Chains A and B, each alone.
Chain A
């Protein structure tokens, strides 16, 4: 079945550094790739997404890149701040486009 691998599982950076989280997916029919941020004790919230007809998308300090040939996509956070500390999940749509398959998450810690 569909599978999404996410790395690393934990990431610690200093404030101001960049952070990169990488995901690979198995279903070549996937065409939607969202990223969710989950702060401690809160619900996951969408922070950025990308569709298969786009290679890169940027929103302020956050960017996502997609390589459909290699079936991997990445989240880039620049100038990290302590409030970026959270668990980040990548996801890929299933073949029918009606379900999201999530990676296992990356715990990002930004120290000041």
Chain B
């Protein structure tokens, strides 16, 4: 099976712009989680989607949003970008998001905000 893929891999934006990142899960996986990774802060949970429904949300401002499509592909959007949004954004997929099933990570999208 193909692994989790994310597009684009690299992105440069300026403050105030918005950005959309995409994640394609492993075939058959219905849960997609998003994380923000920054040096010293580890992996911070953004949100999790299952069958097109957001089930969990982390402590991020409303500028961060996401959605999931019927084919389980997911997108996250960040509006009104700030310098502090520069980070590696990782998505992970699993069969159903429960602890019974492993989460597999994608390669990430490196976002730089200037």
Contacts and interface: CB of A to CB of B under 8 A. Distances in A.
A93 interface: yes
A94 to B, nearest CB: 7
A44 B48 contact: no
B42 interface: yes
Contact of A44 (B44, B56, B98, B105): B105
B108 interface: yes
Counting chain B residues whose Cβ lies within 8 A of the other chain, the interface size class is 20 to 34
B33 interface: yes
A99 B48 contact: yes
A45 interface: yes
B45 interface: yes
A70 interface: no
A99 B106 CA distance: 16
Contacts of B108: 43
A100 B103 contact: yes
A9 B40 CA distance: 9
Given A43-B90, A96-B56, A102 B43 contact: yes
B99 A104 contact: no
A105 B40 CA distance: 8
A18 interface: no
A99 B56 contact: yes
Interface in B30-68: 31, 33, 35, 40-45, 48, 50, 55-56, 58-59
Contacts of A51: 99
Interface of B: 31, 33, 35, 40-45, 48, 50, 55-56, 58-59, 90, 97-99, 102-108
List 10 tightest A-B contacts by C-beta distance, closest first.
Answer: A32-B99, A104-B42, A102-B43, A43-B105, A99-B56, A98-B97, A105-B42, A93-B99, A44-B105, A99-B48
23 contacts: A1-B59, A9-B40, A32-B99, A34-B102, A34-B103, A42-B107, A43-B90, A43-B107, A43-B108, A44-B105, A98-B31, A98-B98, A99-B33, A99-B45, A99-B48, A99-B56, A99-B97, A100-B103, A101-B45, A102-B44, A102-B45, A104-B40, A104-B41
